[in-house]
């Protein structure tokens, strides 16, 4: 099995991993009320930022969400962002979407010196454009399907203190479901079956540990945006996969685990469509 972009992710140098003329994002529109996004999958940055970074590409990649685009590759509606969260973090509110201080970026010094204002303005324009696009996309899906579910797919590190130092499993489920910004009671009929579905998946004979609001609570900007603008018809669920599908220090993927998780995401689509009353 070959994953798109695997070579770039596992052999990073200080060169820009963003291909020439690569789009900011890719949108695929299908006939379904289920949408999935991978807004931290990308590792590219615009050329004018490269000389300002204090971090190399591999250091940046550790805090990005590689392979999340692969996990959603069979979902009918999908949005994949190809730029790095270190250029612009679409899951932060606009005022905090450009990392300025180490405390905004896991203690990392992102820039050699203060980022020029002109560069920050360019990055914030991408944030604005993305949410304009997302609103239009979701409006169209709402018009055609009524209610919809957006799966906001991310991943997170569990060996932050070193390659051989794991976070205590009690604080790090295999999948963390974040529901902070939603009306949980209103969307219970969607969220509860999804959690049980993921718990039914086994890796190496063991069921996945799936819990709600443990490592993360789903407080990101994208889920908040959906629930603010589509309070009656939009359910946005933050899904954080622990990086059990890769070595988070080297970037090397475990293809078998990735494929199993991808099948799990794919199988969630008809389940969610049934919950929304779109399928018998």
The helix/strand/coil state of 92 is coil
**In this predicted structure, what is the pLDDT of residue 7?**
40
221-229 helix and 117-145 helix, angle to the nearest 10 degrees: 50
Name the residue among 229, 258, 262, 231 with its Cα closest to residue 246. Answer: 258
| Torsion of Cα atoms, 105 then 209 then 6 then 106, to 10° | 10
Q: Please report which confidence band the pLDDT of residue 13 belongs to, taking 50, 70 and 90 as the band edges.
A: very low
Indicate the burial class of 277 (C-beta count within 10 angstroms; 0-12, 13-18, 19 or more): exposed
Residue 33 lies in a domain: yes
Residue 1 lies in a domain: no
Q: What is the mean pLDDT of the segment spanning 27-38?
A: 98
The whole domain housing 228 covers: 6-275
190 pLDDT exceeds 60?
yes
pLDDT digits (tens, 9 = 90+) for 243-276: 999 999 999 999 999 999 999 999 999 999 999 9
Phi, psi dihedrals of residue 128, rounded to the nearest 5° = -60, -45
Q: What is the mean pLDDT of the segment spanning 17-26?
A: 74
Q: Please report which confidence band the pLDDT of residue 8 belongs to, taking 50, 70 and 90 as the band edges.
A: very low
Residue 106 lies in a domain: yes
**In this predicted structure, what is the pLDDT of residue 2?**
46
Q: Which residue has the higher pLDDT, 194 or 15?
A: 194
Residue 280 lies in a domain: no
- Please give the tally of structural domains in the chain: 1
Residue 143 sits at the vertex; the CA angle it makes with 137 and 146, to the nearest 5 degrees, is: 110
173 pLDDT exceeds 70?
yes
Residue 234 lies in a domain: yes
Q: What is the CATH number of the domain that holds 208?
A: 3.40.630.40
């Amino acid at each position: 099995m070959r994953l798109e972009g695997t070579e770039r992710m596992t052999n990073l140098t200080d060169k820009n991993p963003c291909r020439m003329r690569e789009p900011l994002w890719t949108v695929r529109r299908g006939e379904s009320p289920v949408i999935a996004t991978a807004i931290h999958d990308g590792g590219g940055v615009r050329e004018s930022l490269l000389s300002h970074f204090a971090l190399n590409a591999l250091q940046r990649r550790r805090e990005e969400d590689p392979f999340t685009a692969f996990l959603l590759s069979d979902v009918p509606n999908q949005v994949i962002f190809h730029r790095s969260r270190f250029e612009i973090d679409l899951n932060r509110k606009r005022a905090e979407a450009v990392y300025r201080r180490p405390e905004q970026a896991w203690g990392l010094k992102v820039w050699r010196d203060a980022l020029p204002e002109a560069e920050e303005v360019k990055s914030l324009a991408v944030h604005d454009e993305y949410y304009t696009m997302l609103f239009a996309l979701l409006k169209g899906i709402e018009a055609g399907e009524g209610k919809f579910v957006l799966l906001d797919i991310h991943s997170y590190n569990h060996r932050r203190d070193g390659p051989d130092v794991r976070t205590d499993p009690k604080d790090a489920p295999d999948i963390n479901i974040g529901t902070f910004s939603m009306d949980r009671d209103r969307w219970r009929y969607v969220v509860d079956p999804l959690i049980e579905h993921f718990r039914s998946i086994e890796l190496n004979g063991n069921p996945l540990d799936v819990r709600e609001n443990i490592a993360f609570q789903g407080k990101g900007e994208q889920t908040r945006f959906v629930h603010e603008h589509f309070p009656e018809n939009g359910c946005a669920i933050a899904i954080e996969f622990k990086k059990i599908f890769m070595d988070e220090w080297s970037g090397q993927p475990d293809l078998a685990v990735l494929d199993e998780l991808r099948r799990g995401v794919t199988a969630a689509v008809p389940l969610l469509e049934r919950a929304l009353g779109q399928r018998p």
